[in-house]
């Protein structure tokens, strides 16, 4: 009985440690995703040219720049705890064990720039914006946005995203097995089409609709830390 | 082959079993039966293909719906020739003039009250136009054979006609009075260079696509741009009229406001699943209610695509030999300075 109890205790400890391990892994991967860096980007750190190349997703991941999935997660209120007393009240309203969200999630792989400041122009719906690492750009939107300016430390409400396009790494000359790094960086430096994303209260990202394209250009050739992230848009 | 066809001789509508019965009553069928006893198997096969295919060859009509159209249930017992609807009568006459026994028009060859039939027809429409021996394009608002008249025709502003133009291999354009738009010896107007040039300038579609279009999800943004200035009666049709062009199928349902917008989102997601084209996210305008990343309509793709910087030769870089020479010269200069 005693030995059995001890064994059970040991088993319980093993289980707990395993549980903590799994939880840590889960937390790590969650924060990892929240941070917006995907696994492929991490793996690129193991490569020999870590200090000299922008981070590009691995070949298998870049085949599709986005993936589409239907959300089966809980609705937003599912994150909070419903107390017992509340549960008794809710019983009358037939609280279902699950709920399906009709939202479609699209995971987009893109280069991300934090928007540092945004201020309106004399034209309604038109804004000047500055984002980390890119030249000032114009934004024409249907939505009314609040002007703001932020320091580099705290994340702003908006993100400027450049969608990954596999053509960027396409070798048009067919001379090289892969596009050379100088050419690749030069291509990234060229003006590009971007989308503006808004961080919502629940941490999710939403694309802001615009009247005109957002055309942006990097201030200089992309730095070593420039890389593709996977963002879950709803 | 369409579910129903109009017989160009009697003007009556025939379903598949009725078509077969009609064939069995024909002289061709009797001659085939006779051949089975007199010729070898290979000759029989060749002959059957030669005679059966023309028997079932059909003409399709591509047109713009008017306020009054002859519906499936409005077809008189005596056939369309006894109706007052010129469009259907002239279609049958024109098809018969070109030795085609059968004709199809969406107004009266689909039972619009039968949702299953409507769904099946919409899903198969591209292949029906592709399989036709002739597609008659009726331009009801064109009275002169000029490029200007063609440019102003509303036929080029409708959603479904895009698919019909691309799917049909053999087309003939007709004006309001049912005379050919172009008097030429060439039967197929897609073989007339002048017409192809005019069609290209009106539709913005390259001649090669107009003549040899193959359904696929390649270059999706370009194809969505073809459709951006076209209108459909139902919001859902903005998506359904593009299914054949992309060679994909999504469930065909019509419903309230939300469903109208969802149909286009569903089509885009299906395209996105099959291709990794980044330009699909390059759009402006109102988003879909399903996801902020999806546009609500093809009009969102009206802008020209932006080149992604796929350029010529790489910018000049310091070669190894040149770098070695620079270092050598630099070292010599340093040494001299020390001396």
Q: What are A189-205's pLDDT values in tens digits?
A: 999 999 999 998 878 89
In terms of Cβ atoms closer than 10 Å to its own Cβ (0-12, 13-18, 19+), residue A23 is: exposed
pLDDT over 70 (residue A77)? no
Query: A39 lies in a domain?
Result: no
pLDDT over 90 (residue B259)? no
Query: A22 lies in a domain?
Result: yes
More confident residue, B31 or B123: B123
Q: What span, in angstroms and rounded, lies between the C-alpha atoms of A52 and A31?
A: 26
Residues B183-195 have a mean pLDDT of 92
pLDDT over 70 (residue B243)? yes
Contacts of B320 in chain A (CB under 8 A): none
Interface check B293 vs A, CB under 8 A: yes
Whether A7 and A79 map to the same domain: the answer is: no
Size of interface A-B (CB pairs under 8 A): 102
Whether A192 and A163 map to the same domain: the answer is: yes
Contacts of A66 in chain B (CB under 8 A): 272, 276, 281, 293
pLDDT of residue A225: 78
Name the residue of chain A whose CA is nearest to B304's CA.
Answer: A213
Whether A81 and A11 map to the same domain: the answer is: no
Whether A11 and A48 map to the same domain: the answer is: no
Identify the CA nearest to B90 among candidates B99, B81, B98.
Answer: B81
More confident residue, A214 or B52: A214
Q: What span, in angstroms and rounded, lies between the C-alpha atoms of B165 and B175?
A: 16
Name the residue of chain B whose CA is nearest to A207's CA.
Answer: B292
Whether A105 and A25 map to the same domain: the answer is: no
In this structure, are residues A167 and B310 in contact, taking their beta carbons and an 8 Å threshold? yes
pLDDT of residue B122: 96
Q: Reading across the β-sheet that carries B4-7, which strands appear in turn?
A: B13-15, B4-7, B102-104, B58-62, B134-138, B171-174
Q: What span, in angstroms and rounded, lies between the C-alpha atoms of B315 and B297?
A: 40
pLDDT of residue A134: 94
pLDDT of residue A11: 44
Whole-angstrom CA distances from B3 to B19, B117, B121, B241 are: 10, 8, 8, 19
For residue B78, the distance in angstroms to the closest alpha carbon of chain A comes to 51
Contacts of A209 in chain B (CB under 8 A): 284-287, 292
Whether A16 and A95 map to the same domain: the answer is: no
Average pLDDT over chain B, rounded to whole? 88
In this structure, are residues A166 and A62 in contact, taking their beta carbons and an 8 Å threshold? yes
pLDDT over 80 (residue B275)? yes
pLDDT, tens digit (0-9, with 9 covering 90-100), for B196-212:
999 999 999 999 999 99
What is the domain extent for residue A29?
Answer: 2-34
Identify the CA nearest to B175 among candidates B217, B212, B128, B142.
Answer: B142
Q: Residue B314 and residue A183: Cβ atoms within 8 Å?
A: yes
Query: A96 lies in a domain?
Result: yes
List, in sequence order, every beta strand (DSSP E) within B55-209. 58-62, 102-104, 134-138, 171-174
Interface check B294 vs A, CB under 8 A: yes
pLDDT of residue B232: 95
Point out the least confidently predicted range of A69-78, A194-203, B145-154, B297-306.
A69-78
Of A62, A190, A213, the CB nearest to B309: A190
Contacts of A105 in chain B (CB under 8 A): 291
pLDDT of residue A60: 39
Whether A61 and A7 map to the same domain: the answer is: no
Helix (H) or strand (E) holding A232: strand A228-233
Tell me the β-bridge partners of B5: B14
Name the residue of chain B whose CA is nearest to A164's CA.
Answer: B278
Of B276, B313, B317, the CB nearest to A173: B313
Point out the least confidently predicted range of A12-16, A44-48, B49-53, B264-268.
A44-48
pLDDT over 70 (residue A146)? yes
Interface check B318 vs A, CB under 8 A: no
pLDDT of residue A7: 40
Total structural domains within chain A = 2
For residue A127, the distance in angstroms to the closest alpha carbon of chain B comes to 16
- Domain extents for chain B? 1-213, 215-305
pLDDT of residue A105: 85
pLDDT of residue B111: 94
Cβ-Cβ contacts under 8 Å for B293 (sequence gap 6 or more): A66, A106, A108, A195, A207, A233, B281, B287
Name the residue of chain A whose CA is nearest to B278's CA.
Answer: A165
For residue A74, the distance in angstroms to the closest alpha carbon of chain B comes to 17
pLDDT of residue A43: 36
In this structure, are residues B101 and B140 in contact, taking their beta carbons and an 8 Å threshold? no
Entry pTM: 0.77
Whether A60 and A26 map to the same domain: the answer is: no
- The CA angle A90-A96-A100, to the nearest 5 degrees, is 130
Contacts of A193 in chain B (CB under 8 A): 282, 306
Q: What span, in angstroms and rounded, lies between the C-alpha atoms of B176 and A25?
A: 71
Whether A23 and A83 map to the same domain: the answer is: no
Contacts of B278 in chain A (CB under 8 A): 65, 163-167
Q: Residue A213 and residue B284: Cβ atoms within 8 Å?
A: yes
Average pLDDT over chain A, rounded to whole? 70
Helix (H, G, I), strand (E, B) or coil at A78: helix
């Amino acid at each position: 009985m005693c030995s059995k109890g001890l064994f059970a205790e040991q088993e319980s400890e093993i289980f707990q440690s395993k549980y903590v391990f799994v939880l840590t892994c889960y937390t790590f991967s969650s924060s990892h995703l929240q941070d917006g860096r995907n696994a492929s980007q991490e793996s690129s750190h193991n490569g020999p040219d870590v200090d000299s190349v922008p981070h590009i997703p691995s070949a298998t991941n870049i085949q599709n720049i986005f993936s589409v999935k239907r959300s089966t997660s809980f609705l937003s209120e599912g994150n909070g705890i419903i107390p017992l007393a509340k549960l008794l009240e809710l019983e009358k309203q037939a609280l279902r064990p699950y709920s399906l969200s009709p939202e479609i999630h699209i995971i987009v792989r893109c280069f991300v720039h934090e928007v540092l400041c945004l201020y309106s122009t004399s034209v309604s719906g038109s804004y000047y914006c500055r984002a980390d690492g890119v030249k000032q750009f114009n934004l024409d939107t249907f939505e009314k946005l609040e002007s703001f300016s932020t320091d580099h430390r705290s994340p702003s409400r908006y993100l400027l995203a450049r969608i990954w396009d596999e053509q960027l790494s396409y070798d048009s000359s067919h001379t090289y097995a892969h596009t050379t790094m100088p050419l690749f960086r030069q291509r990234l430096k060229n003006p590009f089409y971007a989308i503006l994303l808004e961080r919502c209260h629940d941490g999710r990202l939403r694309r802001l609709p615009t009247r005109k394209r957002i055309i942006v250009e990097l201030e200089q050739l992309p730095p070593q830390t420039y890389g593709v992230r996977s963002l879950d848009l709803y | 082959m369409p579910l129903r066809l109009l017989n160009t001789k009697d003007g009556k509508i025939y379903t598949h079993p009725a078509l077969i019965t009609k064939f069995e009553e024909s002289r061709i069928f009797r001659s085939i039966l006779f051949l089975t006893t007199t010729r070898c198997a290979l000759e029989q096969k060749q002959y059957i293909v030669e005679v059966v295919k023309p028997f079932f060859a059909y003409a399709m009509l591509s047109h713009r719906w008017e306020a009054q159209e002859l519906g499936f249930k409005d077809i008189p017992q005596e056939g369309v020739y006894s109706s007052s609807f010129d469009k259907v009568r002239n279609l049958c006459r024109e098809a018969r003039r070109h030795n085609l026994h059968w004709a199809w028009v969406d107004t009266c060859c689909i039972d619009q009250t039968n949702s299953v039939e409507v769904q099946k027809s919409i899903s198969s429409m591209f292949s029906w136009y592709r399989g036709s021996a002739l597609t008659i394009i009726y331009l009801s608002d064109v009275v002169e054979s000029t490029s200007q008249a063609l440019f102003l025709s509303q036929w080029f502003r409708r959603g479904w006609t895009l698919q019909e133009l691309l799917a049909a291999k053999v087309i003939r354009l007709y004006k309001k009075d049912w005379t050919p738009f172009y008097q030429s010896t060439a039967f197929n107007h897609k073989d007339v260079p002048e017409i192809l040039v005019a069609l290209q300038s009106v539709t913005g579609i390259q001649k090669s696509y107009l003549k040899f279009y193959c359904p696929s999800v390649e270059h999706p943004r370009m194809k969505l741009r073809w459709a951006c200035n076209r209108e459909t009666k139902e919001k859902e049709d903005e998506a359904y009229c593009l299914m054949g062009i992309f060679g994909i199928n999504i469930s065909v349902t019509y419903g309230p406001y939300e469903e109208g917008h969802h149909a286009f989102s569903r089509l885009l997601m299906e395209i996105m699943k099959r291709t990794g084209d980044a330009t699909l996210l390059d759009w402006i305008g109102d988003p879909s209610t399903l996801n902020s990343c999806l546009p609500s309509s093809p009009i969102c793709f009206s802008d020209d695509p932006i080149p992604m910087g796929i350029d010529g030769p790489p910018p000049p870089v310091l070669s190894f030999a040149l770098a070695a020479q620079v270092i050598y010269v630099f070292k010599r200069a340093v040494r001299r300075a020390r001396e």
